[in-house]
A and B are shown apart, each in its own frame.
Chain A
Amino acid sequence: MSKVRLLVGTKKGAFVLTSDGTRKKWDVSGPFFGGWEMYHIKGSPADPNRLYASQTSSWFGQVIQRSDDGGKTWNTPDGAPVPTPGSDGMPQGVSNKFVYDATAESGKPLTTHQHYDGTQRPWEFKRVWHLEPSVTDPDTVYAGVEDAALFRSTDGGRTWQELAGLRSAKGHLWQPGAGGMCLHTIMLDRKNPKRIFIAISAAGVFRSDDAGKTWRPTNKGLKSQFELPDPDAEVGHCVHRIAMHPSRPTVLFMQKHWDVMRSDDAGESWHEISGNLPTDFGFPIDVHAHEPETIYVIPIKSDSEHYVPDGKLRVYRSRTGGNEWEALTKGLPQQDCYVNVLRDAMAVDSLDPCGLYFGTTGGQVYGSAVAGDSWNPIVRDLPAVYSVEVQVLP
């Protein structure tokens, strides 16, 4: 029988939750990296035991962790001791070194972006928000960082290189959202290895068709009438999350700051599918593993009240690719609940029926082994959950 492994990042450490294919009983291990903020942990599709984790701290900065045994043990990818440094330089531990590429050969000048007050600020690395391993090579992994940029490692996380062409896609007009100017979503097209989608708050969605060398904004149809002076601007939109079904990579779904959106042409144009949602503000959005027209969101009351409406934790499902939504409530608290679910904190497994999982800022991780029809708490009292990823293991 298959096994299921959840990788949970929280404000104070990481946790690994495991179950068999029934997904009824779960073992909880952790905390790993106790006390550190764990923004994201994700496994390689090419080698499920290869995991990458973003560990960060306001005091001590960024650390990249890697596990080669499914999360039992972890190491910084370049953390082996070296002899006392000589005249030839310093030790080589650079797996947490993210330097914007400003070289004449491959990079772009260290440009500026808009700051909260409208002034221009140079890019400054703060942390890794999202790690996206290659679908074919366990040693290749992408990192979405704050200040927004995309980095790639091809040596298992030992060293990182910026894909600097992204910053030239009108980067001077990008600006931080309330959580910072972060590149939080990376989607690799399994049918076209040269195509990559990324999303940035608050800049929008960008697409590369040459494996990350050049990029262009793909935000036509987005409207941000309360956030931007030009509601139809080419960049500047606060996109919270995008999702696709791997079998249909030209159809994209988006949870924007406000509005749930859909594109049927790989981001060339977008149209709204919020329909009958109680509110179209939220963070995560995901797609059913076997039904490409079935999508899930978790609406939040508003941009100023980051908790679920009416004290009820409800996942909304559309089986029609948007517009018509049903509330999924069985097993979820329906009174006095005021949690949020962050953008990377929902995941879908590939079993049949597919499993759904999400974690809350109140520290609960809920799971459904029946595509959302009913839910059970897997664990209730973790620190605030930042991210949830799932792996199905043989």
Chain B
Amino acid sequence: MIRVVLPAHLRTLARVNGEVQLEVKDPVTQRTILDALEAQYPMLRGTIRDHDTFKRRAFVRFFACEQDLSHESPDELLPDAVATGAEPFLIVGAMAGG
């Protein structure tokens, strides 16, 4: 199972506590994780990436294994630790006040 950590606002929107666990078929990439996440939680569509272009929203970041993967291709394979569930895939709201 893939582990995904959502930012607080999206946990509220999806009505989940803690990590989300997803079944993702190979290859495990940003795109396949987000496809599975949005299938399980359709209310998240459009909140992380654009509905049609699938471009990441400007103030959203993707972290895993202490790396910022936000600028990687959405079809790039994610680290094995994410694919095996040893490490979570973090979806993060960019730091800003307000």
Q: Which residues from chain A sit less than 8 Å from chain B, CB to CB?
A: 33-36, 57-63, 76, 78-85, 90-94, 96-97, 99
- Counting from the closest, the 6 A-B pairs by CB-CB distance are A93-B42, A79-B43, A60-B47, A76-B43, A93-B45, A59-B59
Whether A96 contacts B8 by the Cβ 8 Å rule is: no
Which single member of A59, A79, A80 contacts B9 (CB below 8 Å)?
A59
B30-46, CB under 8 A of A: which get 1 and which 0?
00000110111111111
Name the CB-closest residue of B to A95.
B43
Whether B42 contacts A57 by the Cβ 8 Å rule is: no
Number of residue pairs across A and B with beta carbons under 8 Å?
A: 86
Which single member of B8, B39, B57, B94 contacts A83 (CB below 8 Å)?
B39
Q: Bound complex: CA of A59 vs CA of B40, how far in Å?
A: 21
Whether B43 contacts A97 by the Cβ 8 Å rule is: no
Kindly list chain B residues whose C-beta atoms are within 8 Å of the C-beta of A94. Answer: 45-46, 51
Kindly list chain A residues whose C-beta atoms are within 8 Å of the C-beta of B7. Answer: 59-60
A33, A63, A97, most chain B CB atoms within 10 A? A63
Whether A93 contacts B38 by the Cβ 8 Å rule is: yes
Whether B42 contacts A82 by the Cβ 8 Å rule is: yes
Kindly list chain A residues whose C-beta atoms are within 8 Å of the C-beta of B36. Answer: 84
CB distance from B38 to the nearest CB of A (A): 5
Whether A78 contacts B42 by the Cβ 8 Å rule is: yes
Kindly list chain B residues whose C-beta atoms are within 8 Å of the C-beta of A90. Answer: 35, 38-39, 45
Q: Does B18 contact A (CB under 8 A)?
A: no
How many residues of chain B get a CB closer than 8 Å to chain A's CBs?
29
Which single member of B8, B42, B52, B59 contacts A92 (CB below 8 Å)?
B42
B1-38, CB under 8 A of A: which get 1 and which 0?
00000011110110000000001000000000001101
Name the CB-closest residue of A to B14.
A79
CB distance from A203 to the nearest CB of B (A): 26
Kindly list chain B residues whose C-beta atoms are within 8 Å of the C-beta of A84. Answer: 23, 35-36, 39-40
Q: Does B60 contact A (CB under 8 A)?
A: yes
Kindly list chain B residues whose C-beta atoms are within 8 Å of the C-beta of A78. Answer: 42
Q: Bound complex: CA of A97 vs CA of B48, how far in Å?
A: 13
Q: Do most interface residues of chain A lie in helix, strand or loop, or is the interface mixed? A: loop
Whether A59 contacts B94 by the Cβ 8 Å rule is: yes
Cross-chain pairs A/B with CB under 8 angstroms, 9 sampled: A35-B12, A59-B93, A63-B43, A79-B41, A79-B43, A81-B39, A83-B39, A84-B36, A99-B51
Name the CB-closest residue of B to A76.
B43
Kindly list chain B residues whose C-beta atoms are within 8 Å of the C-beta of A63. Answer: 13, 43, 47
Q: Bound complex: CA of A57 vs CA of B96, how far in Å?
A: 12
CB distance from A61 to the nearest CB of B (A): 5
Name the CB-closest residue of A to B94.
A59
Whether B46 contacts A57 by the Cβ 8 Å rule is: no
Whether A97 contacts B39 by the Cβ 8 Å rule is: no
Kindly list chain A residues whose C-beta atoms are within 8 Å of the C-beta of B10. Answer: 60
Whether B40 contacts A60 by the Cβ 8 Å rule is: no
Which single member of A35, A58, A59, A85 contacts B39 (CB below 8 Å)?
A85
Kindly list chain B residues whose C-beta atoms are within 8 Å of the C-beta of A80. Answer: 42
Q: Bound complex: CA of A57 vs CA of B44, how far in Å?
A: 13
Name the CB-closest residue of B to A97.
B51
Name the CB-closest residue of B to A81.
B40
Do A79 and B48 form a contact, CB below 8 Å, given A59-B94, A90-B35?
no
Name the CB-closest residue of B to A93.
B42
Which single member of A59, A83, A91, A99 contacts B60 (CB below 8 Å)?
A59
Which single member of A36, A58, A59, A81 contacts B42 (CB below 8 Å)?
A81
Name the CB-closest residue of A to B51.
A97
CB distance from A58 to the nearest CB of B (A): 6
Whether B46 contacts A62 by the Cβ 8 Å rule is: yes
Q: Bound complex: CA of A61 vs CA of B47, how far in Å?
A: 5
Kindly list chain A residues whose C-beta atoms are within 8 Å of the C-beta of B40. Answer: 81, 84
Whether A36 contacts B9 by the Cβ 8 Å rule is: yes
Kindly list chain B residues whose C-beta atoms are within 8 Å of the C-beta of A58. Answer: 59, 96, 98
Kindly list chain B residues whose C-beta atoms are within 8 Å of the C-beta of A99. Answer: 51-52
B8, B45, B46, most chain A CB atoms within 10 A? B45
